[in-house]
């Protein structure tokens, strides 16, 4: 052992953990936004499609990105269905394995959703917008609207 201490001393370990905590804290900072939505004592009441349309019409800044994000989600869902059915069908055709077809159904759904989301993101140019902020503004608007109703 060299003079000056152990390489596995608590101070070294604590510095390592602090660095990792800071590193992952920066990369996962967006999760703080979800605490506003899901970390509530009393959940928000359900909203309908007409409520979302009302918000889109009333907010000229956050309405269009929210509308585009909802359209992108529809395209992603279609991609998910196409991916799930095609991969499960292909798997069933060539293997006749129920568990293989089921696994490929799940995998195809995930890949189809991801591929559909990428296509929609580029088609609607979602990279130009902060869709998370638009969704959070909708939740704030919905919360204030339902509190006024109560």
Give the start-to-end residue ranges of the domains of the chain.
Answer: 47-149
Nearest to 129 by CA among 54, 67, 36: 67
CA angle 114, 53, 81 (to 5 degrees): 25
Does the pTM surpass 0.75? The reply is: no
Using one digit for the tens of pLDDT, what is the confidence trace for 79-137? 999 999 999 999 999 999 999 999 999 999 999 999 999 999 999 999 899 888 899 89
Beta-carbon contacts of 92 under 8 Å, excluding residues fewer than 6 positions away, are 100, 101
């Amino acid at each position: 052992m060299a003079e000056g201490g152990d390489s596995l001393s608590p101070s070294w370990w604590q510095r390592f953990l602090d660095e990792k905590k800071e590193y992952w804290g920066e990369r996962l900072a967006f999760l703080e936004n979800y605490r506003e939505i899901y970390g509530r004592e009393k959940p928000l009441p359900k909203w309908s499609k007409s409520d979302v349309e009302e918000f889109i019409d009333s907010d000229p800044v956050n309405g269009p990105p929210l509308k585009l994000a909802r359209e992108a989600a529809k395209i992603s869902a279609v991609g998910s269905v196409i991916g799930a059915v095609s991969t499960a069908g292909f798997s069933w055709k060539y293997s006749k394995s129920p568990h293989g077809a089921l696994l490929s159904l799940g995998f195809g759904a995930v890949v189809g959703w991801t591929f559909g989301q990428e296509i929609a993101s580029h088609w609607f140019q979602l990279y130009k917008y902060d869709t998370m902020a638009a969704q959070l503004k909708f939740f704030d608007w919905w919360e204030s609207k339902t509190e006024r109703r109560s």
